[in-house]
Amino acid sequence: CRSSQQGAGSGDGSRGSAAAETPSGEDFSLSLLDTNLPAEAETELRSFIAKRLTKGALFEGMGNVASVGLSIPEYKVGCYYCRFQQENLLEMATLEPDGSAPEYVVCLLGGSEKEDTFRLELDKYIQGLKISLGLEEKNLETCVKPYLRSWFENAVCPIQRVVQVFQEKLAFLLHAALSYTPVEVKNADERTEKDISRFLAAAGLQGLVQEGTMASLCIAMTEEQHRSVIIDCSGPQPQLHNAGSSKFCEDWMRAFVNGAEGGNPFLFRQILENFKLKAIQDINNLKRFIRQAEMNHYALFKCYMFLKNCGSGDILLKIVKVEHAGMPEARNVVTVLEEFMRE
């Protein structure tokens, strides 16, 4: 706050406020709202946040991850921190000439800087906090504090829980995410349904392939209603119907299942990122072969062999088919490849 009003925070599942605008010098105050850190560590974290604010290093709604040295525990921890303002105060801030509307900083602490792999999930989590946050003490106790204390379970652990529930059937989920196949979840509790949805979103290539390609693939898959994957969670183990798989997805499923012994949610997220990276590399390789095949029959054969051996040829071919729809020569190459793959 610019004045001595309510203020900022710290802690593993804690929060607080900053200045109404990016502060200069020390033209702001920090007041603790909630924390589960020991007092000494909380003071150290507050000092870290104050320095970042003084430098103007915190931007509204953009999460950051940094390593912070705290005396308890006696090693550096990863800290996700995000500066934000209450939704219903955004308009107020524009009306206040002195910009005195309070802002908040939420800090979430983990064992390392690996929170960076969950930055998008945590950013979304903070958006949910903005909705539930109110200045009334009653709302703080009943809504905000429980919400903050569940950040790890709700934002970091969904991928791990899906791996534990699906085990070897995870290959079907990976295939659905990679091929943009619609998925319907039936007879599941709310948390399981959200976990599956988050896993599919994290495993998909949204943002990594062209937006037009993604939209066209989603439309094409939605029109093929018989291709929708049905997940029935009424029994002890989920049952999947109309599900497809591939050698590529089965190989990566093994990596997840083998990693389940350690039970580290950050490891699962890293495996998922590697899965997507390999898929993008394969797509780019296929595109390069197709460009070469427009003028070279031997390169056409290389395309075919690559599709045959990569383990996900059917999916890759659909993706490049959509991307090359407006390129006659490349489209002809894709048509030939489709015929060879069918044979």
Burial class of residue 343, CB neighbours in 10 A (0-12, 13-18, 19+): exposed
Q: Locate the domains of the chain by residue range.
A: 39-87+101-134, 166-342
pLDDT tens profile 38-53? 888 899 999 999 988 8
Instruction: Kindly state the tokens that stand for 244.
Output: 């497809």
Give the pLDDT of residue 7: 35
pLDDT in tens, 6-32: 333 444 444 443 333 444 545 678 888
* Per-residue confidence band for 179, with pLDDT thresholds at 50, 70 and 90: confident
Label residue 239 by pLDDT band (50, 70, 90): very high
Cβ burial, residue 325 (10 Å; 0-12/13-18/19+) = middle
Instruction: Assess whether pLDDT exceeds 60 at residue 202.
Output: yes
* CB 218, CB 225: distance < 8 Å: no
Question: What pLDDT is recorded for position 69?
Answer: 85
Structure tokens at 274: 């590697």
What is the side-by-side order of every strand in the sheet holding 229-232? 183-186, 229-232, 239-241
CA distance 255 to 252: 5
Residue 235 CB-density burial (10 A; 0-12 exposed, 13-18 middle, 19+ buried): exposed
AA identity, residue 52: R
What 3 state SS string does 286-316 have? HHHHHHHHCCCHHHHHHHHHHHHHCCCHHHH
CA-nearest of 165, 168, 155 to 189 is 165
Does 280 or 218 have the greater pLDDT score? 280
pLDDT of residue 97: 52
Helix residue spans in the chain (DSSP H): 39-54, 90-95, 119-132, 137-139, 145-149, 151, 158-166, 170-179, 190-203, 211-223, 247-259, 265-293, 297-309, 313-323, 328-342
Name the percent of the chain lying above pLDDT 70. 77
Quote the pLDDT of residue 171: 96
Residue 114 pLDDT class (50, 70, 90 cuts): low
What is the pLDDT, as a whole number, of residue 15?
42
Q: pLDDT tens across 120-158, in order?
A: 889 989 888 887 765 555 577 778 888 888 999 999 999
Query: What is the per-residue pLDDT for 31?
Result: 85
Q: Tell me the average pLDDT across 303-330.
A: 87
- pLDDT value of residue 121: 87
Of the candidates 178, 203, 218, 206, the residue with the CA atom closest to the CA atom of residue 313: 178
